[in-house]
C-alpha cells in the first residue's frame, strides 16, 4: 500500500445517464479545427491531419455548477463539442475497430481564453493557459452508446440567441478517425474523454450570460458564466 504524504486529489468523474455509477476520468484530449467552417473562421489550413491539445481532468464542470469567468482574459469564448468517452484503450487502433472502445457520448463546451490563444499562436507558445484552465470544460452526463457515432444537430445559444448550429456529420475527422489518430500518439485508456471540435460561430461570453447547448440524441448542457 502506497503511503501518500498528503491525501491525493479526488478522482475526476462524470455522471452517467440512467446509472448510479459514474464515469472515472483519466485524460481529456481535444481536437482542434474539426469543422471546415470553424477552421476557416480561425484561419486554419485545410490539409493538415487532426491535431490535439489537452485539458486536465479537474477542469471538468458538471451540470448544476456554473463556471467562473476566468482571470487573465477579456475574450472568453464558447465552443460546443461532442465528447467521446472511452471504456477501453490501446495503441494504433484502426478506424474500423475504434468504435469498440466507446463507452458513450456527452455534450461539452471547450471554454477558451481566445485572447491568450491568439497570443500563443502569434508567439508560437503552448495553448495551456488558453485551453487548460480551471473550469474550462463544462460537460453533460455521459449517455452510454453502441453503434454508429452520433451525427445529429450540434448547437449552442447565448441568452436564447443561436450562435452555433451545425451537425456532427460535418466533422472533418469522424469519431473513429479521431480515435485512430489519437491512438497513434498516445496509448488510450478507459476513462479518457475526447472533445471532438466545434462548428463555426464561436464567440465571447461575459459574466451573467446563459449558455445552452445540445447534441441531438446525446444530451444538452446549460450554465451561467459567473
* Residues at the interface with Mn ion (CB under 5 A): 79, 110, 198
Residue 16 or 83: which CB sits closer to Mn ion? 83
Minimum CB distance to Mn ion, residue 87 (Å): 23
Minimum CB distance to Mn ion, residue 43 (Å): 15
Residue 16 or 166: which CB sits closer to Mn ion? 166
Q: How many residues in the chain?
A: 226
Minimum CB distance to Mn ion, residue 141 (Å): 20
Do 59 and 27 touch, CB atoms closer than 8 A?
Answer: no
Burial (CB < 10 A; 0-12, 13-18, 19+), residue 219, is: buried
Minimum CB distance to Mn ion, residue 73 (Å): 16
Residue 28 or 143: which CB sits closer to Mn ion? 28
Closest residue to Mn ion, judged by C-beta, is: 110
Helices and strands (DSSP H and E) totals, the chain = 5, 17
CA 205 distance to own-chain centroid: 18
What is the DSSP code (8-state) at residue 62? -
Rg (CA), the chain: 17
**Which positions ≥6 away from 17 have C-beta within 8 Å?**
104, 141, 142, 143, 144, 219
Residue 149: how many other CB atoms lie within 10 Å = 21
Minimum CB distance to Mn ion, residue 18 (Å): 27
Residue 51 or 91: which CB sits closer to Mn ion? 51
Minimum CB distance to Mn ion, residue 88 (Å): 24
- Tell me how far apart the alpha carbons of residues 95 and 83 are, in angstroms, rounded to a whole number: 17
Residue 13 or 52: which CB sits closer to Mn ion? 52
Which residue reads 483519466 in cell numbers?
26
Minimum CB distance to Mn ion, residue 6 (Å): 34
- Comparing CA positions, the residue from 33, 178, 193 lying closest to residue 93 is 178
Cell numbers given for 224: 451561467
Residue 51 or 187: which CB sits closer to Mn ion? 51
Residue 110 or 214: which CB sits closer to Mn ion? 110
Strand partners, 214: 155, 220
Amino acid at each position: 500500500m502506497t503511503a501518500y504524504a498528503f491525501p491525493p486529489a479526488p478522482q475526476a468523474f462524470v455522471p452517467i445517464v440512467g446509472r448510479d455509477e459514474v464515469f472515472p476520468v483519466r485524460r481529456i484530449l481535444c481536437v482542434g479545427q474539426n469543422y471546415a467552417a470553424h477552421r476557416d473562421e480561425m484561419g486554419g489550413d485545410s490539409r493538415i491531419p487532426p491535431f490535439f491539445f489537452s485539458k486536465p481532468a479537474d477542469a471538468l464542470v458538471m451540470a448544476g455548477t456554473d463556471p467562473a469567468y476566468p482571470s487573465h482574459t477579456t475574450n472568453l469564448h464558447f465552443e460546443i463539442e461532442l465528447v467521446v468517452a472511452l471504456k477501453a484503450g490501446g495503441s494504433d487502433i484502426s478506424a474500423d475497430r475504434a468504435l469498440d472502445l466507446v463507452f458513450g457520448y456527452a455534450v461539452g463546451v471547450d471554454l477558451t481564453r481566445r485572447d491568450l490563444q491568439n497570443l500563443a499562436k502569434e508567439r508560437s507558445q503552448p495553448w495551456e493557459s488558453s485551453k487548460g484552465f480551471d473550469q474550462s470544460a463544462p460537460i453533460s452526463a455521459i449517455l452510454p452508446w453502441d453503434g454508429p457515432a452520433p451525427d445529429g444537430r450540434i448547437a449552442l445559444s447565448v441568452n436564447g440567441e443561436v450562435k452555433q448550429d451545425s451537425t456532427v456529420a460535418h466533422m472533418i475527422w469522424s469519431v473513429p478517425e479521431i480515435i485512430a489518430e489519437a491512438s497513434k500518439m498516445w496509448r488510450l485508456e478507459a476513462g479518457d474523454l475526447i472533445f471532438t471540435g466545434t462548428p463555426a460561430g464561436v464567440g465571447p461570453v461575459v459574466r451573467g450570460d446563459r449558455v445552452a447547448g445540445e447534441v441531438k440524441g446525446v444530451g444538452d448542457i446549460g450554465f451561467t458564466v459567473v
